[in-house]
Amino acid sequence: MKIQIKRILKTCILIAIILIICTSISKTEKIFENPEKIKITVISEWKPFSYVDREGNPKGILIDFWKAWGKANNIEVEFNRPTSWAKSLELIKNGEENIHLGLFYKEDRAEYIDFGSPIIDLMTGIYIQEDIEAFNINDIKDLGIGVTEKNYAKYYMEKNYPDIKLLVYKDLKQVMDAVDKGEVKAVCVDYHNNIRKISYYYPELKEFELLQTIYTQPLRIGVKKGEKELLTLINDGIEKMSIGEIEGVKSKWEYMTIYLTKEKVQKYTLISSIIVIIFLVINILFLKYRIKQGIKRLSESEEGYKKLLKLCPDGIFVQQKGKMVFVNEATVKILGQDSYKTINDKNFIEFIKEDYRETVQDIINRVENLNINTPTFEEKVVKSNGKVIDVEIAMNVITYKGKSAVLTIIRDISERKEREEEKQNILMEKLKYERLKTEFFSNISHEFRTPLNILLGSIQLIDKVSNDNVYKQNEYYKKYSPIMKQNCYRLLRLINNLIDMTKIDAGFLKMNFENHNIVQVVEDTTMSVVEYIKSKDINIIFDTDIEEKIVMCDADKIERIILNLLSNAIKFTKKDGSIFVNIYDENEVVRISVKDTGIGILKEEQETIFERFRQAHPLLNREREGSGIGLSLVKSIVEEHKGNVYLNSEYGKGSEFIIEIPSNVKIQQEPIVSDEIYSDEGKVEKINIEFSDIYS
């Protein structure tokens, strides 16, 4: 009985072992021997090897390599979502992905990754701007080299070039942003040894050139530790790929000729030999014909050259041993001679003004001795009648009648010089006129401002005398006082704009840049005119996607911009219309939008809307008042902030003015609260001035 039980147990154990082995073999065969799909991790920002385009599609040399591998082995290749190096390696380590598409061999990785054979060689080079003179990396040790903090090159340079200054950034995007801003003049970038135009993948490096390659490492296949069957499957699959498939992938990204194998060399040599033989036979068959045609063309060319020299307006002559042995008709005319006989065998130096003869002779000697061409230069020539003219001269060495000679071309540029001088005089006159005009505007603006301030002050003083009923009871005063005050404000606004305009032209507009919460500045300005806008039966809505944004700006000028844009919006928006003021945080810039549902601006007038003294509606048929300075001033103030202003408008549907201010911050300064800057009385005064050309 016991023996039977032992036999049964042994049989069960044997069957279990067989089932386990079969299952393992089945799984192994399913996973590795004939898999339907292989999962590969993708690095999202490693151009041109592996990256993701704007549509989210994986691109790069390694991506195309694995697609070709899958096609050759009838295996579907699935690329994992874009991920970082650290996350990608973690996926392999945990067995969530099958293959890492390209890795350097490192000992710490070898603890959990098995490496296959090399795929391609990856070189790391130092790139510098073309205008920097350097022979090797040691010549730029104090310049600073941009590199990412996780790039192996950083550790390599720290170990092998300890004296080199490194500019370490978080990722490659930050390095390229620094290059684009001009903060980095040298970078360390990985590239394949056959990629010839690195700037194709990194446009920021279009003005850079390779200084030195510091090291080369092969990219390998990476799988989870212990997955030997998968590694064997991959390596065997690579061997199944034809040379054409591999080279096709490389040539697509490298702009290189396909590598020549022994078989290809034999094939190309045979084809080339056949082509050469056919070419020689054709040449022999048609040799006599070509010689005959060549002689005919030579004769025609000689005749054509003679006509060309005769008709050419530039003087052309040949010098040998200091004598002019050939001249065309234009040379005779330019030098003021009667015929070529008076010039022939003379030295060209004789026609050069005496003060410049030594210089021209030195140039001729250098052309003859060094066999070089000269760039075009200007000299003065004395004609036969004694008149001095300006000419352009170019020289070149040629063979004339079997001997070395100097071909010289001269061009009379006297008239051009006179025109240039005339243009220069006109330009100086225009500049003088513009300066006088600017001074006139400045002077007359200040002259207007003095009596205007007296008039406005008088009106304000009368309005404040609340106990004196003499003026209050006067019906005429009560009727015309607001009109007088509004027109005084309107004149004051025009004068202020003219003064600021002249300051901008002269470069003396003072900007008080401080750290401000620009959201509060814009919101306070908008809220201060809400009641006024509602009194015009117009809705106003303020919205922002951020409650606080500290930027360096001139709060007074920002307030003036917003008031000006709101004034325009009110003027051209009808009753029951709406005005929208929005603020958007775009990280690098703050975008302020002032949009209305008014009459809009014609497309052909939008290009000139920011020009000085230009208005969308001509003087005789416009519906609203204005000088045409306001938007020009807005544009100038925004540009002083290093920002931009745009217009989006459709006639009949309204307009939107968009202002972009850089999100710069003044270092070591606390932000200033807007209430600390302006009093309520001051704001009312500014509103009255900016809205002075809006009549009920």
pLDDT at 296: 65
Mean pLDDT of the 642-659 span: 92
Confidence of residue 579 (pLDDT cuts 50, 70, 90): very high
pLDDT at 54: 77
**Assigned CATH for 511-690:** 3.30.565.10
Q: Does residue 671 have a cis bond before it (omega within 30 degrees)?
A: no
User: What's the CATH architecture for 35-253?
Assistant: 3-Layer(aba) Sandwich (3.40)
pLDDT at 65: 86
pLDDT at 36: 78
Q: For 358-411, what is each residue's pLDDT tens digit?
A: 888 888 888 888 888 888 888 888 888 888 888 888 888 888 888 888 888 888
- % of the chain with per-residue pLDDT over 90: 13
Q: Given a cut of 70, is residue 625 above it in pLDDT?
A: no
Q: Which range has highest mean pLDDT (334-343, 445-454, 507-516)?
A: 507-516
pLDDT at 185: 92
What sign for the dihedral angle of Cα 503, 505, 508, 514? positive
| 283 or 677, higher pLDDT | 283
Least confident of 133-142, 226-235, 680-689: 680-689
Q: Given a cut of 60, is residue 695 above it in pLDDT?
A: no
pLDDT at 239: 81
pLDDT at 676: 47
Report the DSSP beta bridge partners of residue 166: 145
Which of 350, 368, 451, 450 has its CA nearest to residue 407? 368
| 114 or 520, higher pLDDT | 520
Q: Given a cut of 90, is residue 187 above it in pLDDT?
A: yes
pLDDT at 578: 93
Starting at the earlier edge strand, list the strands of the sheet with 37-43.
Answer: 76-83, 37-43, 99-103, 208-224, 113-129, 186-192, 145-148, 166-169
pLDDT at 541: 92
Q: Given a cut of 90, is residue 186 above it in pLDDT?
A: yes
Q: Given a cut of 50, is residue 70 above it in pLDDT?
A: yes
Q: Given a cut of 80, is residue 569 above it in pLDDT?
A: yes
Which residues make Cβ contacts (< 8 Å) with residue 484, sequence separation at least 6? 455, 459
Q: Given a cut of 70, is residue 33 above it in pLDDT?
A: no
pLDDT at 442: 63
The CATH fold assigned to 299-412 is: Beta-Lactamase (3.30.450)
Looking at residue 472, the DSSP 8-state letter turns out to be: H
Mean pLDDT of the 610-630 span: 57
C-beta atoms surrounding 497 within 10 Å: 20
Confidence of residue 539 (pLDDT cuts 50, 70, 90): very high
pLDDT at 475: 64
pLDDT at 568: 87
Mean pLDDT of the chain: 78
Q: For 510-532, what is each residue's pLDDT tens digit?
A: 888 999 999 999 998 888 888 88
Q: Given a cut of 70, is residue 540 above it in pLDDT?
A: yes
Which of 398, 393, 212 has its CA nearest to residue 315? 393
pLDDT at 306: 63
For the chain, what are the domain ranges? 1-29, 35-253, 299-412, 418-481, 511-690
pLDDT at 385: 82
Mean pLDDT of the 567-583 span: 90
pLDDT at 320: 87
Is residue 406 within 8 Å of 319, Cβ to Cβ? yes
pLDDT at 216: 82
pLDDT at 24: 45
Least confident of 220-229, 286-295, 654-663, 668-677: 668-677
| 432 or 301, higher pLDDT | 432
| 105 or 646, higher pLDDT | 646
Which of 594, 634, 600, 629 has its CA nearest to residue 615? 629
Give the span between the Cα atoms of 70 and 81, in whole angstroms: 18
Q: For 123-157, what is each residue's pLDDT tens digit?
A: 888 889 888 888 888 889 899 999 988 788 888 88
Mean pLDDT of the 587-593 span: 93
pLDDT at 620: 38
Mean pLDDT of the 461-480 span: 59
Q: Given a cut of 90, is residue 474 above it in pLDDT?
A: no
Does the fold of domain 511-690 match that of domain 35-253? no
Mean pLDDT of the 32-49 span: 75
Supply the DSSP string of 416-444, one letter for each residue. HHHHHHHHHHHHHHHHHHHHHHHHHHHHH
Looking at residue 352, the DSSP 8-state letter turns out to be: B
Looking at residue 33, the DSSP 8-state letter turns out to be: I
